[in-house]
Amino acid sequence: MKNTLAQYKQQVEAALEALPMEGAPEPLRSAMRYSLLSGGKRLRGCLLLAACDMAGGNVADALPFACALEMIHAYSLIHDDLPAMDNDTVRRGKPTNHVVYGEAVAILAGDGLLTHAVEVMAASCHPMAFRALGEIVGAAGVRGMLAGQTLDVTLEGTRPDVETVQRIHKGKTAALLTAPLTAGLILGGAGEKEIQAGREYGYHLGMAFQIVDDLLDLEGDPALMGKTLGKDLEEGKITWPAAVGIEQARKDAAWHVDQAVKALDCFEKKAEFLQALAVSTLNRVQ
């Protein structure tokens, strides 16, 4: 599994490096590239390529969409880190965008990455480009990621019920891990039933991923995580362990991974990589 993941990641990295941002004036271009090319797992991009592959599609044709997902993810982190939002100064061991470029340019860099993500998808000649674009933008939108962000920001410091925490994590994290599956399958030529299976996998993977993320903030290695730990608890952030306790959170993460694995059974042998990836979520250290 690790080899395949590394190959997908390399393709996404190369495509991101090669993105045509020449027309963007400085310091906008540098600010956009600073956050976009600052490392990270490229999980969203890799998931999209893997889903396209699983459906028997051409991975190279899906690359603009993998890049778009990574740009949308990078934009959400830039805006999330702003002083008016989470006020984070370090991410992946480096100063956050607004610390380096100032708040005004950081806001524009986020806007720029979101807009450029759509531009790159709109330039694709893939016959399913329009539908895949709709899936990805919908996941990033006011019923998806932005819904989660809004609830997260406005409810911070409160103790919402478990259903609300679930709604936040579904929007904040699972939406942008579901879109790579559905869009990748659409680009790969999958049928509606398969797309629906991918949607379920993405949701459960996303929930597991967020729970493990919350657990790592409590129990992880600060050197590997590249950020200050224990911050969530200190700042009254809404997390799964805070809502249900650490032991139950561990069980829930395992359950979601199990559901994710089962969702892809219809793909038989072809699902091996994505199923192994889901299982590996439980053991990640960063």
| Window contacting a copy of itself (CB under 8 A); options: 54-62, 80-88, 180-188, 270-278 | 80-88
Point out which residues pair with 94 in neighbouring strands.
91
Alpha-carbon distance of 240 to 204, in angstroms, equals: 14
Candidates 51, 105, 177, 260; binder of a copy of itself (CB under 8 A) is 105
In the chain, the amino acid numbered 247 is: E
Does 150 help bind a copy of itself (rule: CB under 8 A)?
Answer: yes
* Closest separation in Å from C-beta 52 to a copy of itself: 19
Please identify, using beta-carbon distances, which residue of 27 and 189 lies nearer to a copy of itself. 27
Residues in the interface with a copy of itself (CB under 8 A) total 46
Candidates 129, 212, 238, 274; binder of a copy of itself (CB under 8 A) is 129
Structure tokens belonging to residue 81: 């880190």
Candidates 172, 245, 252, 179; CA nearest to 211 is 252
Q: Is 274 exposed, middle or buried (0-12, 13-18, 19+ CB in 10 A)?
A: buried
Does 24 help bind a copy of itself (rule: CB under 8 A)?
Answer: yes
* Closest separation in Å from C-beta 282 to a copy of itself: 30
* Closest separation in Å from C-beta 174 to a copy of itself: 15
Candidates 91, 92, 9, 80; CA nearest to 43 is 9
Candidates 11, 35, 97, 149; binder of a copy of itself (CB under 8 A) is 149
Instruction: Say which residue the tokens 């399913």 belong to.
Output: 128
119: alpha, beta or left? (left if phi > 0; alpha if psi -120 to 50)? alpha
Alpha-carbon distance of 109 to 27, in angstroms, equals: 9
Does 50 help bind a copy of itself (rule: CB under 8 A)?
Answer: no
Compute the 3-state secondary structure of the chain and give helix, strand, coil in percent, each to the nearest 5: 75, 0, 25
* Closest separation in Å from C-beta 123 to a copy of itself: 7
Does 160 help bind a copy of itself (rule: CB under 8 A)?
Answer: no
Neighbours of 3 (CB within 10 A): 8
Alpha-carbon distance of 127 to 195, in angstroms, equals: 17
Which residues, at least 6 apart from 245, have a Cβ–Cβ distance to it below 8 Å?
A: none
| Window contacting a copy of itself (CB under 8 A); options: 6-14, 40-48, 77-85, 254-262 | 77-85
Please identify, using beta-carbon distances, which residue of 49 and 140 lies nearer to a copy of itself. 140
Does 18 help bind a copy of itself (rule: CB under 8 A)?
Answer: no
| Window contacting a copy of itself (CB under 8 A); options: 38-46, 127-135, 184-192, 198-206 | 127-135
Q: Which residues bind a copy of itself (CB under 8 A)?
A: 21, 23-25, 27-29, 32, 75, 79, 82, 84-85, 102-105, 107-108, 110-112, 114-116, 118-119, 122-123, 129-130, 133-134, 137-138, 140-143, 146-147, 149-151, 153-154
